Amino acid sequence: MKTEDIRKRLNFRELGGYTAADGRKVNYGQFFRSGPLADLNDEEMAFVKTLGIRHVFDFRSEYEANEVPDPDIGAQYHLINAMVDGNGNQVQFDPKGIEEAAKDHANANDFIEKMYGSLPFCKAYKEMFEVIKAEQTPILFHCSAGKDRTGIAAVLILLMLGVDEKTALDDYELTNEYRRELIEKFFEKVAHIIGDNKELKQQMQAFEGVNRTSAEYSLKTIKARYADYGAFFEDVFGIDAEMRQKLQDQYLI
């Protein structure tokens, strides 16, 4: 199977190979990120089943998951939405949901920024990190497009392992390469709205792709509350300095 095919269709990739601050690299075959697993064809499904995935984290809302259920890939399945509003209600944050919530494109940035500000502290990531702490990898995590909820989960894993911010954000932004065709089709659809407004085009890229500034805002909210990432990981995920070193020793080579 051509792995480039699954990457482009499902925004599918792993976190292995990134270099941490101490010069070691994230081990391959431990952390996989993806778009909707229901879109796997037979060949891709057979490939994914060879990866030895032990846990699948589905960060979609119950509505999204019921509309397009995950296939069984032989792993323990966790459906836990990473996006909730201030009242604890589930937010549908797939491309369709983002577009619906931000019909008034002038407010799109405010909506996305608000959601990204809450992501680093969500219950879903806490459950994911419990499995990582228990060394129950390989894991696969995904949402409806593998870009927003999935993207910030990947950023946090990389930061926990000692990978620098720029590299973690670069991985987040790779979504725009893998979803380029979908992004361009969306721009064609809304060309009459965007016109020659480059700033608006950049904002609306978030409907099918990502904007680096969104992930940067997530990190900004962490820094506003904590002195450093070490304090954040200890308070939110129960990963103190000793545990973090242990996990880096486990997952870096």
Cα dihedral 207→9→138→55 (10° resolution): 70
Q: Where are the domains of the chain?
A: 3-251
Task: For 91-143, write each residue's pLDDT tens digit.
Answer: 766 666 565 655 554 556 677 778 899 999 999 999 999 999 999 999 999 99
- Mean residue pLDDT across the chain: 91
pLDDT bracket for residue 6 (50, 70, 90): confident
Listed residue (33, 138, 145) closest to 99, CA to CA: 145
Residues 6+ apart with CB under 8 A from 190: 204
Output phi, psi for 31, to 5 deg.
Answer: -130, 110
* Model pLDDT, residue 202: 86
Q: Give domain 3-251's CATH number out of 3.40.640.10, 3.30.70.600, 3.90.190.10, 1.20.120.1200.
A: 3.90.190.10
pLDDT at position 162 over 50: yes
Identify the pLDDT of residue 107: 59
Identify whether the C-beta of residue 162 lies closer than 8 Å to the C-beta of residue 252: yes
In sequence order, what DSSP letters do the residues of 166-197 get, joined into one string?
HHHHHHHHTHHHHTHHHHHHHHHHTHHHHTT-
Report the C-alpha gap between 108 and 52 in whole angstroms. 39
Distances 169 to 176, 177, 233 between C-alpha atoms, Å: 12, 14, 18
Does the pLDDT at position 196 exceed 60? yes
- Cα separation, 172 vs 13, in Å, equals 11
What's the pLDDT score for residue 105? Answer: 47
Give the separation between CA 221 and CA 189, rounded to whole angstroms: 33
Give the model confidence (pLDDT) of 14-35 as tens digits. Answer: 999 999 999 999 999 999 999 9
